[in-house]
Amino acid sequence: MPQIYSKIIGTGSALPQRATDNQTLADELGLRGIQTSDEWIRTRTGIEKRYLAERGLTTTQLAERAAKSALWDAGVDPSEIDLIIVATTTPDMIFPSTACQLQKLLGCSKGAAFDLQAVCAGFIYALTNADALIRTGVYKKAIVVGVDIMSRIVDWDDRSTCVLFGDGAGAVILEASNEPGILAARLSADGTLDENVLGCKAFINGGEVHGDPYVRMDGQHVFRMAVSSMSESAKAVLSDAGLSVEDIDCYVPHQANLRIMQKVAQKIGIDENKMIVTVNRHGNTSAASVPLALDNAARHNDIKKNDIVLMQAVGAGMAWGSVLVKWTKENNQ
């Protein structure tokens, strides 16, 4: 029996309507007694603006828009989809899953649908799982979505976190292939780096929310851990694929902080000119970060057919991972 692989045949993304630049955010926070500035945010994070979900916009709606965009890009009808994986930390409800709600909205009548939660590393985890399931031969076409509305779980009185995050969704269509598209993937986690490093500790019991319902982060610890974990993961996935850093044509890291991204690229040995940067426009969109940046790069022809693309992310858990892809599609003009 011939070897089955998977390849990316379409990308898509979606953002809320409202773009909030640093000065506007600083002015709004000032009304709450929180002092910050455009210069303070830019020099520490590289972020210039972010998109914040309007009242009434749901995680599922953002996921639907990104998925439909990816389906159009791939030229695939929803009826062909037999697997949906949604990576999210901010579902609209405890259950059913965002993936099942998305399946209903898209009109996909067959296959499996489930959510996966690895926070900012969620899309990398979801893409790796979709690739593995397609390689079994059971599934033929998958939608993989990363989507989060982080603005609803940040503490707007905590300057160290509230300036970092934005909302959005990104998606890819993955298809079974007789030639490799996804070349290698590495997933890792260290549960000892727990919610005291990065977490949101709230839980529901007896109809009441218990614990702290907001994102809390030890920024310096996360910075150090992100740099070391992603650089090591990159080297491991390149070794798995039998490639070297010189073979990388395009680098799509988690768009959390420009300083982290630059430090990782430097440690891996990747030319910064190969690095896709959207953190300045989107902020940290958690699970949406990598697919948003990937779709942006594809639509601006920053990724070309036969390019070797390295995608990476790290999130709470702590969990992290890398996926190495050979770009097999022609980008739509």
pLDDT of residue 34: 93
Kindly report, residue by residue over 298-323, the tens digit of the pLDDT: 999 999 999 999 999 999 999 999 99
What the chain holds in terms of domains, given with CATH numbers, is 5-180 (3.40.47.10), 183-326 (3.40.47.10)
pLDDT of residue 2: 85
Q: What is the mean pLDDT of residues 213-237?
A: 96
Active-site residue numbers?
120, 254, 284
Report the percentage of the chain scoring pLDDT > 90. Answer: 97
Tokens of 164: 């970092």
Measure Cα distances from 218 to 101, 122, 189 in Å.
Answer: 34, 20, 17
Kindly report, residue by residue over 64-76, the tens digit of the pLDDT: 999 999 999 999 9
Residue 326, CB-side half-sphere exposure with 13 Å CA sphere? 13
Measure Cα distances from 86 to 162, 173, 310 in Å.
Answer: 24, 12, 21
